[in-house]
Structure 1
Amino acid sequence: MLRLAPGQGGPGPRFFLIHAWLPLIAFAAMVLWTMVFGGDQWLADRMYAWQGSHWQLRHDFVTEQLIHRLGRDISTMAWLTVLAAWIVARARPGWGSLRRPLAYLLVSVAVSTALVAWVKSWSNMDCPWDLVRYGGAREYVGLFAMRPLGLSRGACFPAGHASGGYAWLALYFFLWSVRPRLRWLGLAVGGGMGLVFGFSQQLRGAHFLSHDLWTLAICWATALGLFLWFRRRLVVTESAAVPARISAEAAR
Protein backbone atom coordinates (compact mmCIF):
# COMPACT_ATOMS: atom_id res chain seq x y z
CA MET A 1 0.00 0.00 0.00
CA LEU A 2 1.38 3.41 -0.97
CA ARG A 3 0.78 5.95 1.76
CA LEU A 4 2.08 9.17 3.23
CA ALA A 5 3.98 9.32 6.49
CA PRO A 6 1.90 9.24 9.66
CA GLY A 7 0.65 12.64 10.74
CA GLN A 8 1.14 14.30 7.37
CA GLY A 9 -2.21 13.50 5.81
CA GLY A 10 -2.72 13.63 2.05
CA PRO A 11 -0.48 15.37 -0.48
CA GLY A 12 -1.44 18.92 0.49
CA PRO A 13 0.38 22.24 -0.01
CA ARG A 14 3.18 21.36 2.42
CA PHE A 15 3.90 18.10 0.62
CA PHE A 16 4.17 19.84 -2.76
CA LEU A 17 6.21 22.70 -1.29
CA ILE A 18 8.82 20.31 0.12
CA HIS A 19 8.86 17.74 -2.68
CA ALA A 20 8.14 19.82 -5.78
CA TRP A 21 8.44 23.61 -5.46
CA LEU A 22 11.59 23.86 -3.33
CA PRO A 23 13.49 21.28 -5.45
CA LEU A 24 12.36 23.13 -8.58
CA ILE A 25 13.63 26.46 -7.26
CA ALA A 26 16.96 24.91 -6.25
CA PHE A 27 17.27 23.23 -9.65
CA ALA A 28 16.54 26.48 -11.52
CA ALA A 29 19.13 28.37 -9.46
CA MET A 30 21.78 25.72 -10.10
CA VAL A 31 21.02 25.60 -13.83
CA LEU A 32 21.43 29.38 -14.02
CA TRP A 33 24.78 29.19 -12.27
CA THR A 34 26.14 26.24 -14.25
CA MET A 35 24.78 26.88 -17.76
CA VAL A 36 24.28 30.65 -17.89
CA PHE A 37 26.90 32.10 -15.56
CA GLY A 38 29.70 29.66 -16.37
CA GLY A 39 29.65 27.40 -13.33
CA ASP A 40 30.16 24.34 -15.52
CA GLN A 41 33.40 25.65 -16.96
CA TRP A 42 34.56 27.07 -13.63
CA LEU A 43 34.35 23.67 -11.95
CA ALA A 44 35.66 21.69 -14.94
CA ASP A 45 38.62 24.09 -15.28
CA ARG A 46 39.70 23.29 -11.73
CA MET A 47 39.28 19.54 -12.13
CA TYR A 48 41.26 19.67 -15.38
CA ALA A 49 44.05 21.80 -13.90
CA TRP A 50 44.22 19.65 -10.76
CA GLN A 51 44.95 16.62 -12.97
CA GLY A 52 47.82 18.38 -14.75
CA SER A 53 45.77 19.87 -17.63
CA HIS A 54 44.68 16.51 -18.94
CA TRP A 55 42.04 14.01 -17.84
CA GLN A 56 44.40 11.77 -15.92
CA LEU A 57 41.49 9.94 -14.25
CA ARG A 58 39.70 9.15 -17.51
CA HIS A 59 41.07 5.61 -17.56
CA ASP A 60 41.87 5.26 -13.87
CA PHE A 61 40.96 1.91 -12.34
CA VAL A 62 38.76 3.40 -9.62
CA THR A 63 36.83 5.87 -11.76
CA GLU A 64 36.51 3.75 -14.92
CA GLN A 65 36.43 0.15 -13.72
CA LEU A 66 35.02 0.30 -10.20
CA ILE A 67 32.65 3.26 -10.23
CA HIS A 68 31.67 3.41 -13.89
CA ARG A 69 31.48 -0.22 -14.96
CA LEU A 70 31.02 -2.08 -11.68
CA GLY A 71 28.68 0.64 -10.39
CA ARG A 72 26.49 0.23 -13.45
CA ASP A 73 26.38 -3.54 -12.94
CA ILE A 74 25.50 -3.14 -9.25
CA SER A 75 22.62 -0.83 -10.12
CA THR A 76 21.34 -3.36 -12.66
CA MET A 77 21.63 -6.23 -10.19
CA ALA A 78 19.77 -4.19 -7.57
CA TRP A 79 16.89 -3.68 -10.01
CA LEU A 80 16.81 -7.42 -10.80
CA THR A 81 16.75 -8.14 -7.07
CA VAL A 82 13.71 -5.88 -6.65
CA LEU A 83 12.09 -7.65 -9.60
CA ALA A 84 12.67 -11.03 -7.92
CA ALA A 85 11.21 -9.67 -4.67
CA TRP A 86 8.12 -8.43 -6.52
CA ILE A 87 7.63 -11.87 -8.13
CA VAL A 88 7.90 -13.51 -4.71
CA ALA A 89 5.46 -10.97 -3.25
CA ARG A 90 2.91 -11.88 -5.90
CA ALA A 91 3.25 -15.56 -5.09
CA ARG A 92 3.23 -15.33 -1.29
CA PRO A 93 0.09 -13.95 0.42
CA GLY A 94 2.12 -12.84 3.42
CA TRP A 95 4.01 -10.37 1.22
CA GLY A 96 0.86 -8.86 -0.23
CA SER A 97 1.44 -5.43 1.32
CA LEU A 98 4.76 -5.16 -0.54
CA ARG A 99 3.42 -5.81 -4.03
CA ARG A 100 2.43 -2.27 -4.95
CA PRO A 101 5.45 -0.55 -3.32
CA LEU A 102 7.81 -2.97 -5.08
CA ALA A 103 5.98 -2.42 -8.37
CA TYR A 104 6.36 1.33 -7.87
CA LEU A 105 10.10 0.99 -7.23
CA LEU A 106 10.59 -1.19 -10.30
CA VAL A 107 8.69 1.15 -12.58
CA SER A 108 10.24 4.33 -11.20
CA VAL A 109 13.85 3.16 -11.57
CA ALA A 110 13.21 1.81 -15.07
CA VAL A 111 11.33 4.89 -16.29
CA SER A 112 13.92 7.29 -14.81
CA THR A 113 16.85 5.65 -16.57
CA ALA A 114 14.85 5.27 -19.79
CA LEU A 115 13.89 8.96 -19.80
CA VAL A 116 17.49 10.05 -19.29
CA ALA A 117 18.60 7.75 -22.12
CA TRP A 118 15.82 9.09 -24.36
CA VAL A 119 16.76 12.73 -23.77
CA LYS A 120 20.38 11.83 -24.35
CA SER A 121 19.47 10.23 -27.69
CA TRP A 122 18.28 13.52 -29.20
CA SER A 123 20.15 16.18 -27.21
CA ASN A 124 23.28 17.59 -28.77
CA MET A 125 26.02 18.46 -26.28
CA ASP A 126 29.64 17.34 -26.13
CA CYS A 127 31.58 15.90 -23.23
CA PRO A 128 34.23 18.16 -21.69
CA TRP A 129 36.97 15.84 -22.97
CA ASP A 130 35.77 16.58 -26.54
CA LEU A 131 36.26 20.34 -26.22
CA VAL A 132 39.27 22.40 -27.30
CA ARG A 133 39.33 24.00 -23.86
CA TYR A 134 40.10 20.59 -22.35
CA GLY A 135 42.39 19.09 -24.94
CA GLY A 136 39.72 18.01 -27.46
CA ALA A 137 38.91 19.20 -30.98
CA ARG A 138 35.49 20.85 -30.69
CA GLU A 139 34.28 24.27 -29.64
CA TYR A 140 31.68 24.47 -26.90
CA VAL A 141 28.06 24.63 -28.11
CA GLY A 142 25.36 25.32 -25.53
CA LEU A 143 22.27 23.21 -25.03
CA PHE A 144 19.95 25.52 -26.97
CA ALA A 145 22.53 26.94 -29.40
CA MET A 146 22.60 26.13 -33.11
CA ARG A 147 25.28 23.55 -33.86
CA PRO A 148 27.63 24.50 -36.72
CA LEU A 149 27.15 22.62 -39.98
CA GLY A 150 29.53 19.71 -40.37
CA LEU A 151 30.02 19.25 -36.65
CA SER A 152 28.88 15.77 -35.67
CA ARG A 153 26.37 15.53 -32.85
CA GLY A 154 27.33 15.32 -29.23
CA ALA A 155 25.92 12.57 -27.02
CA CYS A 156 26.83 13.57 -23.47
CA PHE A 157 23.72 15.26 -22.08
CA PRO A 158 22.23 14.48 -19.63
CA ALA A 159 24.47 12.20 -17.56
CA GLY A 160 23.53 8.61 -18.30
CA HIS A 161 25.74 6.90 -15.73
CA ALA A 162 24.51 9.14 -12.90
CA SER A 163 20.95 8.02 -13.67
CA GLY A 164 21.93 4.55 -12.44
CA GLY A 165 22.32 6.15 -9.03
CA TYR A 166 19.77 8.96 -8.96
CA ALA A 167 17.02 6.63 -10.19
CA TRP A 168 17.19 5.03 -6.74
CA LEU A 169 15.88 8.22 -5.16
CA ALA A 170 12.62 6.31 -5.57
CA LEU A 171 13.73 4.41 -2.45
CA TYR A 172 12.63 7.49 -0.51
CA PHE A 173 9.00 7.03 -1.54
CA PHE A 174 9.23 3.24 -1.41
CA LEU A 175 10.37 3.33 2.21
CA TRP A 176 7.82 6.05 2.97
CA SER A 177 5.23 3.46 1.96
CA VAL A 178 6.59 0.50 3.93
CA ARG A 179 8.86 1.90 6.69
CA PRO A 180 8.23 5.66 6.95
CA ARG A 181 10.96 6.27 9.51
CA LEU A 182 13.57 4.91 7.09
CA ARG A 183 12.59 7.10 4.15
CA TRP A 184 15.57 9.43 4.71
CA LEU A 185 17.85 6.43 4.40
CA GLY A 186 16.35 5.79 0.98
CA LEU A 187 16.99 9.41 0.03
CA ALA A 188 20.59 9.12 1.22
CA VAL A 189 21.19 5.90 -0.73
CA GLY A 190 19.80 7.24 -4.01
CA GLY A 191 21.38 10.65 -3.63
CA GLY A 192 24.71 9.20 -2.51
CA MET A 193 24.90 6.79 -5.44
CA GLY A 194 24.07 9.54 -7.89
CA LEU A 195 26.67 11.88 -6.40
CA VAL A 196 29.41 9.23 -6.52
CA PHE A 197 28.56 8.17 -10.08
CA GLY A 198 28.20 11.75 -11.30
CA PHE A 199 31.29 13.21 -9.61
CA SER A 200 33.40 10.32 -10.84
CA GLN A 201 32.35 11.00 -14.42
CA GLN A 202 33.09 14.70 -14.00
CA LEU A 203 36.60 13.80 -12.83
CA ARG A 204 37.00 11.71 -15.98
CA GLY A 205 35.92 14.63 -18.18
CA ALA A 206 32.78 12.86 -19.32
CA HIS A 207 30.26 15.41 -18.01
CA PHE A 208 29.73 18.91 -16.72
CA LEU A 209 27.95 19.47 -13.42
CA SER A 210 24.80 20.64 -15.25
CA HIS A 211 24.54 17.26 -16.98
CA ASP A 212 24.20 15.63 -13.56
CA LEU A 213 21.74 18.29 -12.37
CA TRP A 214 19.39 17.54 -15.24
CA THR A 215 19.66 13.81 -14.58
CA LEU A 216 18.90 14.39 -10.90
CA ALA A 217 15.86 16.52 -11.82
CA ILE A 218 14.50 13.92 -14.26
CA CYS A 219 14.91 11.10 -11.73
CA TRP A 220 13.34 13.04 -8.84
CA ALA A 221 10.41 14.27 -10.94
CA THR A 222 9.80 10.72 -12.16
CA ALA A 223 9.92 9.26 -8.65
CA LEU A 224 7.56 11.93 -7.32
CA GLY A 225 5.13 11.76 -10.23
CA LEU A 226 4.89 7.98 -10.18
CA PHE A 227 4.46 7.95 -6.41
CA LEU A 228 1.45 10.26 -6.74
CA TRP A 229 0.11 8.23 -9.68
CA PHE A 230 0.41 4.89 -7.88
CA ARG A 231 -1.14 6.39 -4.77
CA ARG A 232 -4.04 7.84 -6.74
CA ARG A 233 -4.72 4.48 -8.41
CA LEU A 234 -4.72 2.84 -4.98
CA VAL A 235 -7.24 5.34 -3.64
CA VAL A 236 -9.48 4.91 -6.68
CA THR A 237 -9.24 1.12 -6.45
CA GLU A 238 -10.06 1.06 -2.76
CA SER A 239 -12.95 3.50 -3.24
CA ALA A 240 -14.40 1.30 -5.94
CA ALA A 241 -13.97 -1.78 -3.76
CA VAL A 242 -15.95 -0.38 -0.81
CA PRO A 243 -19.44 -0.75 -2.39
CA ALA A 244 -18.52 -4.27 -3.49
CA ARG A 245 -17.52 -5.23 0.05
CA ILE A 246 -20.70 -3.69 1.47
CA SER A 247 -22.82 -5.59 -1.02
CA ALA A 248 -21.00 -8.84 -0.23
CA GLU A 249 -21.48 -8.35 3.47
CA ALA A 250 -25.18 -7.50 2.99
CA ALA A 251 -25.68 -10.66 0.95
CA ARG A 252 -24.34 -12.87 3.75
Structure 2
Amino acid sequence: MPTSLPPSRLSVFWPRLLLAWAGFAALMLAFARLGLDFRLADFFYRLEGGEWSLRHGALTEALLHEGGRDLSQAMGGAVILALALSHGLAPLRPWRRPLWFLFLAVAGSTLAVSTLKQLVSMECPWDLTRYGGWAPFIGLFEARPAGFPDTACFPAGHASAGYAWVALFPFLTAVQPRWRWWGLAVGLGLGLVFGVAQQLRGAHFLSHDLWTLMLCTTISAVAAHWLLSGRPVTSLTLAETPA
Protein backbone atom coordinates (compact mmCIF):
# COMPACT_ATOMS: atom_id res chain seq x y z
CA MET A 1 0.00 0.00 0.00
CA PRO A 2 1.36 3.48 -0.81
CA THR A 3 2.24 5.58 2.19
CA SER A 4 1.96 9.32 2.59
CA LEU A 5 4.97 11.57 2.68
CA PRO A 6 6.36 12.26 6.16
CA PRO A 7 4.63 15.18 7.92
CA SER A 8 7.99 16.94 8.20
CA ARG A 9 8.20 17.15 4.39
CA LEU A 10 4.65 18.38 4.03
CA SER A 11 4.96 20.98 6.80
CA VAL A 12 7.79 22.87 5.05
CA PHE A 13 5.84 23.40 1.83
CA TRP A 14 4.13 26.68 2.73
CA PRO A 15 7.18 28.34 4.36
CA ARG A 16 9.24 27.44 1.30
CA LEU A 17 6.59 28.87 -0.99
CA LEU A 18 6.48 32.10 1.01
CA LEU A 19 10.28 32.27 0.90
CA ALA A 20 10.21 31.80 -2.87
CA TRP A 21 7.76 34.68 -3.22
CA ALA A 22 9.92 36.88 -0.97
CA GLY A 23 12.89 36.16 -3.21
CA PHE A 24 10.82 36.88 -6.29
CA ALA A 25 9.63 40.20 -4.83
CA ALA A 26 13.26 41.16 -4.19
CA LEU A 27 14.11 40.24 -7.78
CA MET A 28 11.30 42.39 -9.16
CA LEU A 29 12.40 45.29 -6.97
CA ALA A 30 15.91 44.96 -8.39
CA PHE A 31 14.46 44.87 -11.92
CA ALA A 32 12.63 48.14 -11.28
CA ARG A 33 15.58 49.87 -9.62
CA LEU A 34 18.03 48.87 -12.35
CA GLY A 35 15.61 49.51 -15.21
CA LEU A 36 16.27 46.07 -16.67
CA ASP A 37 12.93 45.93 -18.45
CA PHE A 38 13.67 49.13 -20.33
CA ARG A 39 17.25 48.15 -21.10
CA LEU A 40 16.15 44.95 -22.81
CA ALA A 41 13.17 46.56 -24.56
CA ASP A 42 15.41 49.43 -25.73
CA PHE A 43 17.81 46.89 -27.19
CA PHE A 44 15.06 45.07 -29.09
CA TYR A 45 13.58 48.37 -30.27
CA ARG A 46 16.91 49.60 -31.65
CA LEU A 47 17.57 46.18 -33.19
CA GLU A 48 14.31 46.46 -35.13
CA GLY A 49 15.18 49.89 -36.49
CA GLY A 50 13.43 52.16 -33.97
CA GLU A 51 10.04 50.49 -34.36
CA TRP A 52 8.38 47.21 -33.49
CA SER A 53 8.90 45.84 -36.98
CA LEU A 54 8.28 42.25 -35.82
CA ARG A 55 4.87 43.09 -34.34
CA HIS A 56 3.14 41.54 -37.35
CA GLY A 57 5.98 39.31 -38.49
CA ALA A 58 5.26 35.88 -39.93
CA LEU A 59 7.49 34.19 -37.36
CA THR A 60 6.56 36.20 -34.27
CA GLU A 61 2.84 36.71 -34.87
CA ALA A 62 1.61 33.94 -37.17
CA LEU A 63 3.84 31.07 -36.05
CA LEU A 64 4.83 31.74 -32.43
CA HIS A 65 1.82 33.76 -31.27
CA GLU A 66 -1.13 32.23 -33.11
CA GLY A 67 0.50 28.86 -33.76
CA GLY A 68 1.82 28.65 -30.22
CA ARG A 69 -1.66 29.27 -28.85
CA ASP A 70 -3.04 26.51 -31.06
CA LEU A 71 -0.29 24.12 -29.91
CA SER A 72 -1.04 24.73 -26.24
CA GLN A 73 -4.75 24.24 -26.84
CA ALA A 74 -4.05 20.97 -28.66
CA MET A 75 -1.94 19.79 -25.72
CA GLY A 76 -4.76 20.71 -23.38
CA GLY A 77 -7.20 18.78 -25.54
CA ALA A 78 -4.93 15.72 -25.33
CA VAL A 79 -4.91 15.97 -21.53
CA ILE A 80 -8.72 16.19 -21.43
CA LEU A 81 -9.03 13.18 -23.73
CA ALA A 82 -6.60 11.14 -21.63
CA LEU A 83 -8.43 12.17 -18.47
CA ALA A 84 -11.76 11.06 -19.93
CA LEU A 85 -10.26 7.73 -21.02
CA SER A 86 -8.78 7.18 -17.55
CA HIS A 87 -12.31 7.00 -16.18
CA GLY A 88 -13.17 4.15 -18.53
CA LEU A 89 -10.02 2.19 -19.36
CA ALA A 90 -8.51 0.07 -16.59
CA PRO A 91 -4.85 0.49 -17.71
CA LEU A 92 -5.20 4.27 -17.40
CA ARG A 93 -6.86 4.32 -14.00
CA PRO A 94 -3.58 4.76 -12.10
CA TRP A 95 -3.02 7.92 -14.17
CA ARG A 96 -6.37 9.45 -13.22
CA ARG A 97 -5.23 11.53 -10.24
CA PRO A 98 -2.06 12.82 -11.97
CA LEU A 99 -4.11 13.69 -15.04
CA TRP A 100 -6.59 15.59 -12.87
CA PHE A 101 -3.62 17.43 -11.40
CA LEU A 102 -2.24 18.28 -14.84
CA PHE A 103 -5.61 19.50 -16.10
CA LEU A 104 -6.28 21.65 -13.03
CA ALA A 105 -2.74 23.06 -12.89
CA VAL A 106 -2.63 24.06 -16.57
CA ALA A 107 -6.19 25.39 -16.64
CA GLY A 108 -5.72 27.17 -13.31
CA SER A 109 -2.50 28.82 -14.44
CA THR A 110 -3.91 30.18 -17.68
CA LEU A 111 -7.12 31.28 -15.97
CA ALA A 112 -5.23 33.05 -13.17
CA VAL A 113 -3.04 34.96 -15.62
CA SER A 114 -6.02 35.87 -17.80
CA THR A 115 -8.01 37.07 -14.77
CA LEU A 116 -5.12 39.13 -13.45
CA LYS A 117 -4.74 40.77 -16.86
CA GLN A 118 -8.30 42.03 -16.57
CA LEU A 119 -7.85 43.25 -13.00
CA VAL A 120 -4.50 45.04 -13.37
CA SER A 121 -4.10 47.83 -15.91
CA MET A 122 -0.64 48.23 -17.38
CA GLU A 123 0.52 49.31 -20.81
CA CYS A 124 2.42 47.21 -23.33
CA PRO A 125 5.79 48.54 -24.50
CA TRP A 126 4.24 49.37 -27.88
CA ASP A 127 1.78 51.69 -26.07
CA LEU A 128 4.51 53.83 -24.49
CA THR A 129 5.70 57.18 -25.82
CA ARG A 130 9.24 55.89 -25.29
CA TYR A 131 8.58 53.49 -28.16
CA GLY A 132 6.42 55.67 -30.38
CA GLY A 133 3.13 55.02 -28.61
CA TRP A 134 0.61 57.24 -26.83
CA ALA A 135 1.02 56.52 -23.10
CA PRO A 136 3.48 57.47 -20.39
CA PHE A 137 4.93 54.65 -18.31
CA ILE A 138 3.03 53.99 -15.08
CA GLY A 139 4.59 51.42 -12.76
CA LEU A 140 2.76 48.38 -11.50
CA PHE A 141 2.17 49.83 -8.04
CA GLU A 142 1.79 53.48 -9.07
CA ALA A 143 -1.56 55.25 -9.00
CA ARG A 144 -3.09 55.72 -12.43
CA PRO A 145 -4.53 59.16 -13.30
CA ALA A 146 -8.30 59.51 -13.15
CA GLY A 147 -9.88 58.72 -16.49
CA PHE A 148 -6.74 57.05 -17.83
CA PRO A 149 -7.79 54.20 -20.14
CA ASP A 150 -7.48 50.64 -18.92
CA THR A 151 -5.19 48.23 -20.73
CA ALA A 152 -4.50 44.52 -20.27
CA CYS A 153 -0.81 43.90 -20.85
CA PHE A 154 0.19 42.46 -17.49
CA PRO A 155 1.11 39.72 -16.82
CA ALA A 156 2.14 38.00 -20.03
CA GLY A 157 -0.84 36.02 -21.26
CA HIS A 158 0.75 34.26 -24.21
CA ALA A 159 3.74 33.12 -22.16
CA SER A 160 1.29 31.37 -19.84
CA ALA A 161 0.38 29.07 -22.75
CA GLY A 162 3.91 27.73 -22.35
CA TYR A 163 4.78 28.22 -18.69
CA ALA A 164 1.55 26.56 -17.55
CA TRP A 165 3.16 23.33 -18.75
CA VAL A 166 5.80 23.41 -16.02
CA ALA A 167 3.09 21.23 -14.43
CA LEU A 168 4.55 18.42 -16.54
CA PHE A 169 7.37 18.16 -14.01
CA PRO A 170 5.26 17.04 -11.01
CA PHE A 171 2.96 15.10 -13.34
CA LEU A 172 5.82 13.04 -14.74
CA THR A 173 7.42 12.78 -11.31
CA ALA A 174 4.27 10.93 -10.31
CA VAL A 175 3.86 8.68 -13.33
CA GLN A 176 7.25 8.36 -15.08
CA PRO A 177 9.99 9.95 -12.93
CA ARG A 178 12.77 9.41 -15.45
CA TRP A 179 10.98 11.79 -17.86
CA ARG A 180 10.30 14.57 -15.36
CA TRP A 181 13.19 16.82 -16.44
CA TRP A 182 12.05 16.57 -20.05
CA GLY A 183 8.63 17.70 -18.89
CA LEU A 184 10.13 20.70 -17.11
CA ALA A 185 12.17 21.52 -20.22
CA VAL A 186 9.00 21.49 -22.34
CA GLY A 187 7.21 23.94 -20.04
CA LEU A 188 10.16 26.29 -19.62
CA GLY A 189 11.12 26.05 -23.29
CA LEU A 190 7.64 26.85 -24.60
CA GLY A 191 7.21 29.72 -22.13
CA LEU A 192 10.61 31.17 -23.02
CA VAL A 193 10.00 30.98 -26.77
CA PHE A 194 6.49 32.43 -26.53
CA GLY A 195 7.66 35.13 -24.11
CA VAL A 196 10.64 36.26 -26.19
CA ALA A 197 8.44 36.35 -29.31
CA GLN A 198 6.05 38.72 -27.54
CA GLN A 199 8.90 40.88 -26.30
CA LEU A 200 10.19 41.16 -29.86
CA ARG A 201 6.71 42.27 -30.92
CA GLY A 202 6.65 44.96 -28.20
CA ALA A 203 3.79 43.27 -26.36
CA HIS A 204 5.51 42.66 -23.03
CA PHE A 205 8.48 43.45 -20.85
CA LEU A 206 10.67 40.67 -19.47
CA SER A 207 9.25 41.16 -15.97
CA HIS A 208 5.75 40.43 -17.32
CA ASP A 209 7.00 37.00 -18.38
CA LEU A 210 8.71 36.39 -15.04
CA TRP A 211 5.48 37.20 -13.19
CA THR A 212 3.68 34.70 -15.40
CA LEU A 213 6.32 32.05 -14.75
CA MET A 214 6.09 32.61 -11.00
CA LEU A 215 2.30 32.41 -11.02
CA CYS A 216 2.26 29.24 -13.10
CA THR A 217 4.94 27.61 -10.95
CA THR A 218 3.06 28.53 -7.77
CA ILE A 219 -0.25 27.15 -8.99
CA SER A 220 1.44 23.96 -10.19
CA ALA A 221 3.22 23.54 -6.84
CA VAL A 222 0.04 24.12 -4.82
CA ALA A 223 -1.95 21.73 -7.00
CA ALA A 224 0.77 19.07 -6.70
CA HIS A 225 0.87 19.55 -2.92
CA TRP A 226 -2.88 19.08 -2.81
CA LEU A 227 -3.27 16.16 -5.22
CA LEU A 228 0.08 14.37 -5.44
CA SER A 229 2.04 14.93 -2.24
CA GLY A 230 0.71 11.82 -0.54
CA ARG A 231 1.58 9.49 -3.41
CA PRO A 232 5.11 8.10 -3.82
CA VAL A 233 6.35 8.25 -7.39
CA THR A 234 6.87 4.49 -7.57
CA SER A 235 3.17 3.82 -7.03
CA LEU A 236 1.99 5.22 -10.35
CA THR A 237 3.01 3.48 -13.54
CA LEU A 238 1.27 2.21 -16.59
CA ALA A 239 1.89 -1.30 -15.40
CA GLU A 240 0.00 -0.77 -12.14
CA THR A 241 -3.41 -2.34 -11.95
CA PRO A 242 -6.21 -1.12 -9.73
CA ALA A 243 -6.61 -2.82 -6.37
TM-score bin, normalised by smaller chain: 0.7 to 0.9
Distance 1:13 1:111 in 2: 22
SS of the residue 1:118 aligns to: helix
Q: Which has the larger radius of gyration?
A: 1
Counterparts of residues 1-252 of structure 1 (less than 5 Å) = 12=9, 16=13, 20=17, 23-24=20-21, 27-231=24-228
Distance 2:127 2:8 in 1: 45
In structure 2, the partner of 1:242 is: none
Is the contact made by 2:55 and 2:202 (CA closer than 8 Å) also made in structure 1? yes
Question: Which residue identity does 1:184 align to in structure 2?
Answer: W
**Residue segments in structure 2 that go unaligned for 5+ positions in a row:** 233-243
Pairwise CA distance, 1:10 = 6.9
SS of the residue 2:100 aligns to: helix
Is the contact made by 2:64 and 2:194 (CA closer than 8 Å) also made in structure 1? yes
In structure 2, the partner of 1:239 is: none
Question: Which residue identity does 1:181 align to in structure 2?
Answer: R
Is the contact made by 1:162 and 1:215 (CA closer than 8 Å) also made in structure 2? yes
Distance 1:103 1:158 in 2: 26
Is the contact made by 2:98 and 2:228 (CA closer than 8 Å) also made in structure 1? no
Q: Number of matched residues?
A: 232
Is the contact made by 1:35 and 1:210 (CA closer than 8 Å) also made in structure 2? no
Distance 1:208 1:3 in 2: 45
CA RMSD of aligned residues (A): 2.7
Which TM-score applies when normalising by structure 1? 0.84
Question: Which residue identity does 2:168 align to in structure 1?
Answer: L
Write out the 4+ residue segments of structure 1 that deviate beyond 6 Å after TM superposition.
Answer: 8-11
C-alpha spacing 1:184/1:105, structure 2 compared with 1 (3 Å): same
Is the contact made by 2:155 and 2:211 (CA closer than 8 Å) also made in structure 1? yes
How much identity, in percent, do the aligned residues show?
Answer: 46
Pairwise CA distance, 1:15 = 7.6
Pairwise CA distance, 1:33 = 2.7
Which TM-score applies when normalising by structure 2? 0.87
In structure 1, the partner of 2:236 is: none
C-alpha spacing 1:3/1:225, structure 2 compared with 1 (3 Å): farther
Distance 1:165 1:33 in 2: 25
Distance 2:229 2:181 in 1: 23
